[in-house]
Chains A and B, each alone.
Chain A
Amino acid sequence: MNFKPFRSSRVHAGLDMTSMIDVIFLLLIYFLLTTTYAPPESHLAPALRVDKVAAGRIADLQPQIVDVEIIDGSPGFRLGDQVLRDKESLRLLLAALPKDAGVFVKGAGDVTTEWAVAALQACRDAGFDRVTYVPRRR
């Protein structure tokens, strides 16, 4: 008895890979190019406050104040009577301070933005949750 057909004649659906490979390579090139052109960005989100003479009573907890300004002819950070010239020194000093009252960063107009941003970053890295930026007139 012959239950099988004489010749197996299945028709296979053909899938042409050529164009898929083309497109995959295009995608690869695309990702390589965009990785080059778009540097990763982040942000710092300090609170914003204008420096005003407080009319009311002085708060119990006084925030630390970091001044970013020109000191002896070059930009630097001033924390109390300490003058610091780099972000890491500022971070180390801030890390040892109490964090409850937060910290104010006061940026003078005659430095560049990177110094103010560095001070804000040092505050965050030191563990301060409440970081406030206070613009200072030149």
Chain B
Amino acid sequence: MKFRSEGVRARVPAMDFTSMVDMVFLLIIFFLATSSLAELNRQQMNLPQERGESRAELVKPGFVVNVMGDGRMITNGREVSLSEVLVQIDGEIAKLGGQAASLDLLVRAERNTPLHVVNVLAEELSSRGVRAWKLGTEIPRAGSMRGRG
């Protein structure tokens, strides 16, 4: 007895996954690259080598001020004067409905920055009602600790 004719064959439709895998990985690369570019946009700086706060919430801060060793200030990738920084900070405070205490501010000052530059900024912040800030540090790699021990 023959239940199936010899000519009919079970065919599984072939699907070529190659291009789909290519596309998926290209998308992954795209998202990884763009997210890391945001990090690379951070100014390359010699931050003080400290562990920071052990309970630090490492979320992205609202506003970042980079202070270079020679006192120059950089925000959003552009060199700006102190007065321009303060205008930007005023804008950020305005966005928060005038709640300066809610301002999430990270100051990334290079380790050799004269403290008077940071102090002037701190005084201006304090006069605007900012009560807390974050000072950026670079987590030291093993064996790379230097400076004040």
**What is A's interface to B at a CB cutoff of 8 Å?**
1-3, 5-6, 9-16, 19-20, 23-24, 26-27, 30, 34, 37-50, 68, 75, 85-88, 107-118, 120-121, 124-125, 133, 135-138
B132 contacts across to A, CB distance below 8 A: 45-48
Residue B25 is within 8 A (CB to CB) of chain A in the complex: yes
A49 CA to B137 CA, complexed, in Å: 20
Tally of chain B residues near chain A (CB < 8 A): 68
A26 CA to B2 CA, complexed, in Å: 55
**Given A43-B52, A50-B126, A86-B149, are A116 and B131 also a contact pair (CB < 8 Å)?**
no
Extra contacts besides A42-B52, A110-B115, A133-B122 (18): CB < 8 Å: A2-B1, A9-B10, A19-B22, A23-B25, A23-B26, A41-B52, A42-B53, A43-B52, A44-B52, A45-B133, A49-B126, A86-B149, A109-B119, A113-B111, A114-B49, A118-B48, A125-B51, A135-B115
**Given A42-B52, A50-B127, A118-B147, are A113 and B112 also a contact pair (CB < 8 Å)?**
yes
The 11 listed contacts between A and B (C-beta, < 8 Å) are A5-B4, A9-B9, A14-B14, A23-B21, A39-B141, A50-B123, A85-B148, A113-B113, A113-B114, A133-B122, A135-B118
Q: Is the CB of B125 within 8 A of A16?
A: no
Kindly report which residue of chain B lies nearest to residue A52, judged by CB atoms. B126
Q: Which residues 36-66 of B sit at the A interface, judged by CB distance below 8 A? A: 36, 39-40, 42, 47-54, 56, 58
**Given A27-B28, A117-B137, are A107 and B115 also a contact pair (CB < 8 Å)?**
yes
**Given A50-B123, A116-B118, A135-B119, are A88 and B50 also a contact pair (CB < 8 Å)?**
no
Q: Is the CB of B114 within 8 A of A43?
A: no
**Given A108-B115, A135-B118, are A10 and B10 also a contact pair (CB < 8 Å)?**
yes
Q: Is the CB of B139 within 8 A of A112?
A: no
Q: How far is the CB of A104 from chain B (nearest CB, A)?
A: 13
A114 CA to B47 CA, complexed, in Å: 8
Q: Is the CB of B113 within 8 A of A112?
A: yes
